[in-house]
């Protein structure tokens, strides 16, 4: 049974070590890119609601008003609805 020469074994180990170093460096570069890209997702929100905190509900007047600030009931009484032909 033949054994590899110490010189070839040393070269092989050197090549494997270099490949490992390159792969580790590339993983570090990729990790930095991911952190830069998704940093906004990792940041802690400044204001968070507690799970048990009650969110205030709008009163009835706020619900009745539309985006233009007019009352939906009054507007409907003064203008006819547009209907499909």
Beta-bridge partner residues of 71: 65
pLDDT at 8: 93
pLDDT score for 2: 74
Per-chain mean pLDDT for the chain: 76
The pLDDT value recorded for residue 61 is 57
Domain ranges of the chain: 1-44
**Weakest-pLDDT range from 4-8, 26-30, 57-61:** 57-61
Residue 82: strand, helix, or coil: coil
- pTM, two decimals, is 0.44
pLDDT, one tens digit per residue, over 51-73 is: 666 666 665 555 555 555 555 55
Beta-carbon contacts of 72 under 8 Å, excluding residues fewer than 6 positions away, are 64, 65, 66
């Amino acid at each position: 049974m033949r054994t590899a020469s110490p010189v070839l074994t040393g070269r092989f180990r050197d090549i494997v070590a270099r490949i490992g170093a390159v792969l580790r460096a590339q993983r570090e570069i990729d990790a930095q890119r991911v952190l830069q890209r998704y940093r906004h997702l990792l940041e802690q929100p400044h204001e968070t609601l507690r799970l048990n905190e009650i969110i205030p509900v709008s009163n009835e007047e706020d619900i009745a008003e539309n985006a233009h600030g007019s009352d939906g009931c009054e507007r409907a009484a003064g203008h006819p609805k547009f209907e499909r032909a």
